[in-house]
Amino acid sequence: MKMKKILCGMTDTMNSVKPPRMTALRELHEAETGGPFSILIGTILSARTKDESTTKVIKVLFSKYKNPQELANAKIKDVEKIIKSIGFYHVKSKRIIEVAKIIDRKYNGEVPDDLDTLIQLPGVGRKTANCVLVYAFEKPAIPVDIHVHRISNRLGLVNTKNPEETEQELMKKIQKKYWIDINDTFVMYGQNICKPVNPMCDICKIKKNCDYYKSKNAF
């Protein structure tokens, strides 16, 4: 099944039920609040946190600390108060201040736009780095989170054990022109339709090409 058909089928399915709200990173991209730096910090904060919580926290955080220099000079306790509603806020407060210091002092306030440099930042793995490339710089990359990993395997696009393997396989199989759209669409689909438990297969417009659906309904 071609990626264009998959992406269109997912979008059509979601719109037929209820147009989904944008992901936290898409909202940051559209708002352009703080530019690439807000995307970087937002992605770090979004780990194991619901999009709604991330969006609220980011808006408050960047209304007070408008650039890397200001966040770099922030007190940990003050940042903790702002992001307290999200998971692991103690660790994340220290982490984002640490990252802000590096961006401010080593990169003159500019977020790097290449994968190899981004993954050198504290707490930034391939998924976070790829999110920055896609949502901040609109560069082709495939950020693979639990939704992208799960759906890719259910569809039969890949047969992998972890997100890292999924990313590598998708990069091999999918044309580069579709990379930018994969995370955003798959994440919304995973949150709204192809859920971890009780996926809404009955309304899915691409189920006939889905290995998971075929196996579940095999006679």
49 pLDDT tier (thresholds 50, 70, 90): low
54 pLDDT tier (thresholds 50, 70, 90): confident
Task: Summarize the confidence of residues 162-172 as an average pLDDT.
Answer: 97
Residues 6+ apart with CB under 8 A from 129: 115, 118, 119, 141
pLDDT at 32 over 60: no
pTM of the model: 0.90
Q: Is the dihedral of CA 72, 77, 78, 79 positive or negative?
A: positive
Q: What is the pLDDT of residues 177-202, one digit of tens each?
A: 999 999 999 999 999 999 999 999 99
Backbone angles phi, psi at 82, to 5 degrees: -75, -40
Question: Where is pLDDT greater, at 49 or 35?
Answer: 35
67 pLDDT tier (thresholds 50, 70, 90): very high
- Mean pLDDT, the chain, integer: 92
